[in-house]
Amino acid sequence: MARFSEELEQCMNEVEQQIEGQLRVIDKVVDRNQWKVIDAFQQHQVSDYHFAGSTGYGYNDRGREVLDLVYADVFGAEAALVRPHFASGTHTISTALFGVLRPGDELFYITGRPYDTLHKVIGQAGDGNGSLLDFGITYREAALKEDGGVDWDAVERGITSATKVIGIQRSRGYDWRSSFTVEQIGEMVSRIRLIKPEIIVFVDNCYGEFTEEVEPTEVGVDLMAGSLIKNPGGGIAETGGYICGKKEYVELASYRLTAPGIGREVGAMLGTTRGIYQGLFLAPMIVGQAVKGSVFAAAMFAKFGFDTKPAWDEKRTDLIQAISFAGPEHLIAFVQGIQRAAAVDSHVVPEPWDMPGYEHPVIMAAGTFIQGGSLELSADAPIREPYIGYMQGGLTYSHVKYGVLKSIQIMQDRKLL
């Protein structure tokens, strides 16, 4: 029995022929990143005894210590802090920022408003919840230009003697803009150094790891953070995050994670070490599968008349595929189609709801083995104009294709196409 209509199957075949060259390019990136990860494992002589768990204080946990060294090498950084104790990407980013900022300092994001969940970390007057603002750390941002580029006039005017950290969000978040390539981030670092050499440049690297052959810390970024249930966890790590960059800044972040004077020296891994290592080993290949899926999605939705960003033939620097829909009905059908294609919770029907940390109702498809694991196929969107859906992840290219086809089929069944 046919899974999809003959028309839809024909469109899929045409799109796969169309994107064949792009998929070969992605395979080359996968190879380079896979070899880089293996080299780091070999350099530090990773062995099965490194996978043993630790309890209590976790003193002298050699597996944990070597894991930090491997991550630092993979990301071209002086040091890294990789722990299951980070509850989310937002927690990891918050730890990094609180680690290096002090009362009277200023955080200045030059890539516009950051992702919604970071707004509470930044804070606003009267919050009283322990935000940066509550500790006397101020915040400013420079909106991006209409073409999605950094407004350097605004940045040069905005940097003051109080500006301690420049924030850069690599991915698009909930914006209709291109994500920043590592090359572009390197250019940002160079320009910032000309304005104020001693400033700390921080990058939120979520969704970006292993989509290119180099990482932001290899082009001059001082401090970087990401989530293990996104790209670098390879769909295996069950929780956690990483911070990497210059040794002094990673050390300061470790004091925020645990306590001053204790830092990275403690922290029982509680049986998570093997999964974090194995997830990192698998990450380049799994990320490649997800990126291939995004290319397919862009081409397929474009074939049905929807605007996509990035387009199927554009350079990729993160997992996120944005699709612009005509209205909320198309958007909801898209997200529900992704959920219906899941191996886990396919029977659940997503509906918009007021999710903590977000400013608008959000609809999310997340039939994942790891709760919130956005290296797995998922989709979400705020219900607001313009009606843009954001798809990310996919442990296999085949699964992403299935989700895209399901979404389009639902739209057809509902007479939306």
Tens-place pLDDT, residues 213-233: 999 999 999 999 999 999 999
**What is the rounded distance in angstroms from the CA atom of residue 350 to the CA atom of residue 348?**
6
Token look-up 């959000």 returns: 362
pLDDT digit string (tens) for 293-328? 999 999 999 999 999 999 999 999 999 999 999 999
103-107, 122-126, 153-157, 164-168: which has the minimum mean pLDDT? 122-126
pLDDT digit string (tens) for 188-209? 999 999 999 999 999 999 999 9
Note the pLDDT of residue 2: 55
Overall average pLDDT of the 121-145 stretch: 94
Neighbours of 386 (CB within 10 A): 11
Residue 357 confidence (pLDDT) above 70: no
Neighbours of 104 (CB within 10 A): 11
Residue 185 confidence (pLDDT) above 90: yes
Tokens for 329, please give them: 């009905």
The dihedral through the CA atoms of 372, 304, 285, 115 has a sign that is negative
Neighbours of 159 (CB within 10 A): 19
Going along the chain from its start, the domains and CATH numbers come out as: 6-33+281-413 (3.90.1150.60), 55-271 (3.40.640.10)
Identity of the amino acid at 68: D
Element holding 379 (H helix, E strand)? strand 378-382
**What is the rounded distance in angstroms from the CA atom of residue 326 to the CA atom of residue 184?**
32
pLDDT band with cut points at 50, 70 and 90 for residue 403: very high
Overall average pLDDT of the 333-346 stretch: 96
Neighbours of 184 (CB within 10 A): 18
Q: What is the pTM assigned to this prediction?
A: 0.95
pLDDT band with cut points at 50, 70 and 90 for residue 365: very high
pLDDT digit string (tens) for 372-388? 999 999 999 888 889 99
Q: How far is residue 82 from each of residues 55, 63, 122, 250, 267, measured CA to CA in Å?
A: 17, 11, 23, 10, 11
| List of residues 6+ apart from 285 with CB closer than 8 A | 30, 34, 234
pLDDT band with cut points at 50, 70 and 90 for residue 1: very low
Overall average pLDDT of the 41-61 stretch: 96
Tokens for 216, please give them: 């932001």
**What is the rounded distance in angstroms from the CA atom of residue 160 to the CA atom of residue 138?**
12
Overall average pLDDT of the 89-95 stretch: 97
Backbone angles phi, psi at 309, to 5 degrees: -145, 120
pLDDT digit string (tens) for 149-182? 999 999 999 999 999 999 999 999 888 889 999 9
116-125, 176-185, 246-255, 256-265: which has the minimum mean pLDDT? 116-125
Residue 103 confidence (pLDDT) above 90: yes
Residue-averaged pLDDT of the chain? 95
292-302 core/surface letters (b: 16 or more CB in 10 A; e: else): bbbbbbbbbbb
